[in-house]
Amino acid sequence: MADEPRISETRAVGRYALGVAWFDGHDSILTHASLRGHCPCDACMALRERDELPGGGKATLESLERIGDASVFLRWTDGHETFYLVSELRALCRCAYCIGEPERPITGG
């Protein structure tokens, strides 16, 4: 892909979510539970294979560090660490636009 997504800035959204503003003007709200739940590391992948939720569904993000333009490093309050490609982060966005159903409300409810 020629146009890799790039992060403009990140911010905390309440206590349980991360807001990401993108260079293309898009804005994502990613919950900590979702970020941890999709952690691509081997340990979390093994948990998912056993149908267990990484972080127990209540992981809290302690810090986020951007590494260049292409990746981010997340540190969790339980000591776990997650490394995401920025493109993977963008793929976690579940807004109506990203899931391709713009006529439906985001929460479906």
| Binding region for Zn ion (CB under 5 A) | 39, 41, 44, 93, 95, 97-98
106 φ, ψ (degrees, to nearest 5): -60, -40
Q: From the CB of 106, what's the least distance to Zn ion, in Å? A: 9
Q: From the CB of 73, what's the least distance to Zn ion, in Å? A: 12
Using the minimum distance from each CB to Zn ion, give the nearer residue, 67 or 95. Answer: 95
Please name the amino acid found at residue 37. Answer: G
Using the minimum distance from each CB to Zn ion, give the nearer residue, 70 or 94. Answer: 94
Q: From the CB of 16, what's the least distance to Zn ion, in Å? A: 18
Q: The tokens of 69 are what?
A: 């333009």
Print burial letters for 68-84: b (CB count within 10 Å at least 16), e (below 16).
Answer: eeeebebebeeebebeb
CA dist 53 and 37 (Å) reads: 6
Using the minimum distance from each CB to Zn ion, give the nearer residue, 16 or 22. Answer: 22
